[in-house]
Chains A and B, each alone.
Chain A
Amino acid sequence: MIDIKDQEQLLKLISNLLKEDIVCTAIGGTAMMFLGYKETTKDIDLVFNDEKERQIFIEAIKEIGYKEKSLSGIYDQEHREHKKRPKMFSRGDERFDLFLKDVFGYKLGKKFIERRDFIGKKELIVYVLSEEELILLKGITGREKDYEDIETIMNTNKEIDWDLIVDNAIKQKTSNSWILIDLEENLQKLKEKFFIPHQIFDKIHQAEGKV
């Protein structure tokens, strides 16, 4: 487990070990910590724009003892065999999940709500996605705890833009055929605890061709 202070210190340290400046996007627990929804996370999830930048980051974390690990035990078989699966590195109980360009077929939007710069010898710029994209992504990674994280966001933030989430999912359904199904499954579960307008389900059904 890593808390926000550790995470920031670790990223600052990495910025001192980088060979070049790099830019990436924080998703999952990392983004939730930056936005103040969580105090600790198991893994640091980052998405890179190109392989070169991911490789520069990997070289830096290898220098401080992170080793590549298999995805088994963390992701289910479907995700382990996905061509857009992440590279995973761990050191003790801290872990990095490093994605390239997209997350299991989900292309990240260009809209971010926060930017964190870690300026050491080089610069590590980390963009943080909005709550809506985080919820959508949590729905497609299929890991334990991801559903709990969605509930954590919902418990704190009552102003989630469901239309935006569904619209994003619809936009991505060609590259990620399960996205609407995963989203609906999560929303059905959430409906038992939180209010979600029925029009949102209608919109998903329409996009799935059920009506």
Chain B
Amino acid sequence: MEGKYTLELFAEKKGLTKNSALNLLSKLKKQGYITVSGGGKQKRIYTIYKTPQEQANGFYTIVNKYSPEKLVPKFKHIVKGKYTVERAIIDGIKIGDVRTLTATEHLFRHLKNWKLLFDLAKKNKVIGKLHLLYKSARKNTKTKTMPKRYEK
């Protein structure tokens, strides 16, 4: 039963009325087997999985929220705790391919804590790469200005 369905298609496949199908979809959603996209003016699409899915909330969720250049996740990233734009920039640098870096540039605009960013960069030994990414972000995107004390 895996795959994408509309309510009508799901009801037809299962041989159920629309109401019964909706009840079943809602039950499966609560158990984590279904994610829903759309709603409002858009038609809802139900994606059914073979195992219960936990919603990703890590790097790719942040990048795809803020960057106009969307990325297809290379892995599912789930975070327990506070995952911020600062951490996402460091993860983007560590993933390191061109597409990821280009998308990560857009996160500088949403940066709130330069100190945290530089502490994380120091811990992960990517300060040089962070400066390079920032320079490129300044050229290509609208970016907050780096405080003088962090400039190279």
**Interface residues, chain A, with chain B CB atoms under 8 Å away:** 8, 11-12, 15, 21, 35-37, 112-120, 123, 156-157
Given contacts A12-B81, A36-B32, A120-B81, contact A115 B50 (CB under 8 A): no
- Write out the residue numbers on chain B whose beta carbons fall within 8 Å of the beta carbon of A15: 81
- Chain A residues positioned under 8 Å from B75 (CB to CB): 112-115
Main secondary structure of the interface of B (DSSP, over half): loop
B residues apposed to A, CB below 8 Å:
32, 49-54, 58, 75-83, 87, 123
User: Which chain B residues lie closer than 8 Å to A116 at the CB level?
Assistant: 77-80
Q: Which of B49, B51, B83, B123 has the most CB of A within 10 A?
A: B51
Determine the distance from Cα of A115 to Cα of B77 in the docked complex, in whole angstroms: 5
Q: How far is the CB of B75 from chain A (nearest CB, A)?
A: 5
CA gap between A54 and B54 in the complex, in Å: 27
Q: A119 and B51 in contact (CB under 8 A), knowing A21-B123, A36-B32?
A: no
Inter-chain pairs besides A15-B81, A116-B77, 10 sampled, C-beta below 8 Å:
A12-B81, A36-B32, A36-B49, A36-B53, A115-B76, A116-B79, A117-B78, A118-B80, A119-B79, A119-B81
In the bound complex, residues from chain A placing their C-beta under 8 Å from that of B52 are 36
**CA A123 to CA B79, docked complex, whole Å:** 10
In the bound complex, how far is the Cα of B106 from the Cα of A143, in angstroms? 48
A21 contacts which chain B residues (CB < 8 A)?
Answer: 123
Whether A115 contacts B78 by the Cβ 8 Å rule is yes
Docked pose: A114 CA to B82 CA in angstroms: 18
- Contact in complex: B79, A157 (CB < 8 Å): no
- 8 A-B pairs closest in CB distance: A119-B81, A36-B51, A117-B79, A114-B76, A36-B52, A115-B77, A118-B80, A116-B78
